[in-house]
Structure 1
Amino acid sequence: MKRISELDYMKGLAMMMVVMGHVLLFSLKVEHTALIAIINICEMPLFFVVSGYLVHKEREEDLKETMSRLLVRSRTLLVPLVVWSIVLNICSDRVMCSLSVIYREGYWFFLALWWCDMLNTFTVFTSKRFKLGMVADMVLYSSVYFVILLGRIKNIDFGGILPIQNMQYYFPFFVLGLLMRKYKFVNDVVLSKYSYAVGMLLLIIGWYFSSLESFVIWFVAALEGVVVVWMVCKEINSELKVAKMLSIVGKNTLPIYAIHYLFIAIMPCTLRGMVDIPNGFFFQLVITFVYAVLVIFLCLLVDRILSLNPITRMIFFGESKRREW
């Protein structure tokens, strides 16, 4: 499938926000600011929408193709989850006989995305078997989501390997991306000039009231954030240097996400005190952006070194082929 540039830009922006958010939280020890709020609203929903959009297959797969795809997908998501959790535990001197040795909470994204893929495979099989249409598909995915909510209520997490709280929030974004790819009607409704205008307004309102910690406010703001960022990325000129850099980051989000925790160092107390001020939005933005760019550069450097050899590429990232730049 031909790469869709706007999706790479979206993933690149989302990855930048993830690293900036972790710089604020773990390096600068800043938790409640306007910058953190807007990052938390947009970052992960963008990943799940794009992942859902890309997971849809135009042609019908047979059982062998489906199993082969799931095997590759499981390898590329679960291998980094385990390997980099162990690496991070060793680096932070947290080696112990527990699940946390092979699953650091910071890597919940890999596991949540894997579960989304597994649930989607079951749903797609059911949809194709009974030749369901758009409305029936929505009902089917809603039923799967109901099971997720039931698991959340019953606190079923299979010993910690089911990130049910994250699934509760992000699975709808994954399904939205999938339905946008599958049905032109859904895509046209979500990405229209009217939804763009409404989305900008609701994103600002949701950002303003984000301190209320309301599921509905955050979800609506995140949904509109996805619309706004997607529409903006559609207008980015691919010839710009910024676009090319975003594309590189977007094509390499997996290794950046896996490696970046190693470079999130605690900054000096003086600097932390300077940025932890009520109206320090732009100062925080500059500091975290500069440090995030440095961290991403180091991640890409480490990734290139590890990816030179197919054995280390498989061990650390579960990949048999080199990624594009």
Structure 2
Amino acid sequence: MGVKRIHELDYIRCIAMFMVVMGHVLLFSLKIEHTALLGIIGICEMPLFFIVSGYLTYKEREESSKETMLRLLKRSRTLLVPLVVWSVVLNILDNNLSFSLSMIYRGGYCFFYALWWCDVLNTFAVYVSKKFKFGMVVDMVLYGLIYVAILLGRIKNVDLGGILPINTIQYYFPFFILGLLIHKYEFVSNVIFNKYSYAVGVFLLIVGWYFSSVESFFIWFVAALGAVVVIWMLCREINSELKVSKMLSIVGRNTLPIYAIHYLFIVTMPSVLRDMINISNGFFFQFVITFVYAALVIFVCLFVDRILSLNPIIRMIFWGESKKRCW
């Protein structure tokens, strides 16, 4: 019997993917760096990805150590292969190919290796928890200690020769673990999602967004937590039988290739258009233009991915996957 698909998770990833592309359109196509729309995108986009990834990482059936390692190896392949390959592709197109780690990181694919490190750290935690039969409280303490180690590494600027994205893990590891705990423990899920959560989430998001100009990790985290709760609960209400829902699901199931490919289609827009929408209170115009452009880019990315995924060898080269993704 197959695992029942949780459609709301696809919708969340779809929303996050649109935010990522829209944010990059604002930054790189329109050259707009300070805007309310970009502020809310920065709050929401990556926390949504990581909380869903953490949720999907937890396996209700207890795995053997061999199964866990095989799953980590497969996960490593599907994250690190696109990281390297698409970084090289992007750098070649930019005529900036070099033989250094900075070549890979410059491509803007921090999502891949940050998520890979979350998987690695979680695999260690799962092994320790299973070995000593930890419960919810001790699990939280264990993940808390791992996060303290991440923060200490951030303070000491430990990056393992450039391969540890300590800056990004600092921000996203808590959401990855929160997603895992929501799936693993019903108590955590009930605390996060209840009849008061929507109102509290909206309040936290608005307050955090309002004070987003203050460069504070705490303010950003609180706002991001509120955004995650609000968007997750909204996605629960979407009817999966609607045609638009099926379109959202297609995007949500293919966020990895979209994330990898979309940089190739983020082109600089005419200065006249940039001047037109880079105005005070231009939130609506910026949203419409970036949303339409993002939708077009995502469609093109899906088309390119379908072509690359036709042949299993090419699919393995670009995505590290042997199995074709279903729509």
In structure 2, the partner of 1:10 is 12
CA deviation map 1:36-72 (0-9, x unaligned)? 0111100100000000000001122112211210111
Secondary structure of residue in 2 paired with 1:278:
coil
Tell me if the contact between 1:11 and 1:50 (Cα under 8 Å) persists in the aligned partners: yes
- Pairwise CA distance, 1:209: 1.3
User: What is the 5 A alignment of 1:128-147?
Assistant: 128-147=130-149
Residues in 2 aligned to 1:51 and 1:175: alpha-carbon distance in whole angstroms: 9
Secondary structure of residue in 2 paired with 1:142:
helix
- Pairwise CA distance, 1:100: 2.5
User: What is the 5 A alignment of 1:37-116?
Assistant: 37-116=39-118
Gapped runs of 5+ residues in structure 2? none
User: What is the 5 A alignment of 1:193-232?
Assistant: 193-232=195-234
- Pairwise CA distance, 1:241: 2.0
Q: Please, which moves more after superposition, 223-232 or 190-199?
A: 190-199
Q: Please, which moves more after superposition, 16-25 or 88-97?
A: 88-97
Q: Do structure 1's residue 127 and structure 2's residue 129 form an aligned pair?
A: yes
User: What is the 5 A alignment of 1:305-320?
Assistant: 305-320=307-322
Q: Please, which moves more after superposition, 248-257 or 102-111?
A: 102-111
The partner residue of 2:286 within 271, 284, 287 is 284
Secondary structure of residue in 2 paired with 1:102:
helix
- Pairwise CA distance, 1:113: 0.3
Secondary structure of residue in 1 paired with 2:122:
helix
Tell me if the contact between 2:54 and 2:179 (Cα under 8 Å) persists in the aligned partners: yes
Tell me if the contact between 1:85 and 1:102 (Cα under 8 Å) persists in the aligned partners: yes
In structure 1, the partner of 2:324 is 322
Residues in 1 aligned to 2:124 and 2:98: alpha-carbon distance in whole angstroms: 35
Residues in 2 aligned to 1:165 and 1:100: alpha-carbon distance in whole angstroms: 15
- Pairwise CA distance, 1:104: 3.0
Q: Do structure 1's residue 29 and structure 2's residue 23 form an aligned pair?
A: no
CA deviation map 1:115-138 (0-9, x unaligned)? 000000000111111111110000
- Pairwise CA distance, 1:2: 2.0
Tell me if the contact between 2:81 and 2:319 (Cα under 8 Å) persists in the aligned partners: yes
- Pairwise CA distance, 1:265: 0.3
Identity of aligned residues (%): 74
Tell me if the contact between 2:16 and 2:49 (Cα under 8 Å) persists in the aligned partners: yes
CA deviation map 1:139-180 (0-9, x unaligned)? 000000000001001101112211101101110000000000
Secondary structure of residue in 2 paired with 1:103:
helix
Specify the code of the residue in structure 2 equivalent to 1:50: V
Residues in 2 aligned to 1:116 and 1:97: alpha-carbon distance in whole angstroms: 26
Q: CA RMSD in A?
A: 0.9
- Which runs of structure 1 show a deviation greater than 4 angstroms over 4 or more consecutive aligned residues? none
In structure 2, the partner of 1:174 is 176
Tell me if the contact between 1:82 and 1:103 (Cα under 8 Å) persists in the aligned partners: no
Q: TM-score w.r.t. structure 2 length?
A: 0.98
- Pairwise CA distance, 1:293: 0.4
CA deviation map 1:242-267 (0-9, x unaligned)? 21111000000000000000000000
Specify the code of the residue in structure 2 equivalent to 1:196: Y
In structure 2, the partner of 1:190 is 192
In structure 2, the partner of 1:247 is 249
Specify the code of the residue in structure 2 equivalent to 1:315: I
Aligned residues: 325
Residues in 1 aligned to 2:323 and 2:102: alpha-carbon distance in whole angstroms: 29
In structure 1, the partner of 2:277 is 275
Tell me if the contact between 1:200 and 1:225 (Cα under 8 Å) persists in the aligned partners: yes
Residues in 1 aligned to 2:107 and 2:87: alpha-carbon distance in whole angstroms: 9
Residues in 2 aligned to 1:89 and 1:100: alpha-carbon distance in whole angstroms: 11
Specify the code of the residue in structure 1 equivalent to 2:254: N
- Pairwise CA distance, 1:105: 4.7
Residues in 2 aligned to 1:136 and 1:88: alpha-carbon distance in whole angstroms: 44
CA deviation map 1:8-36 (0-9, x unaligned)? 00000000000000000000000111100
Residues in 1 aligned to 2:243 and 2:270: alpha-carbon distance in whole angstroms: 33
Tell me if the contact between 2:14 and 2:255 (Cα under 8 Å) persists in the aligned partners: yes
Gapped runs of 5+ residues in structure 1? none
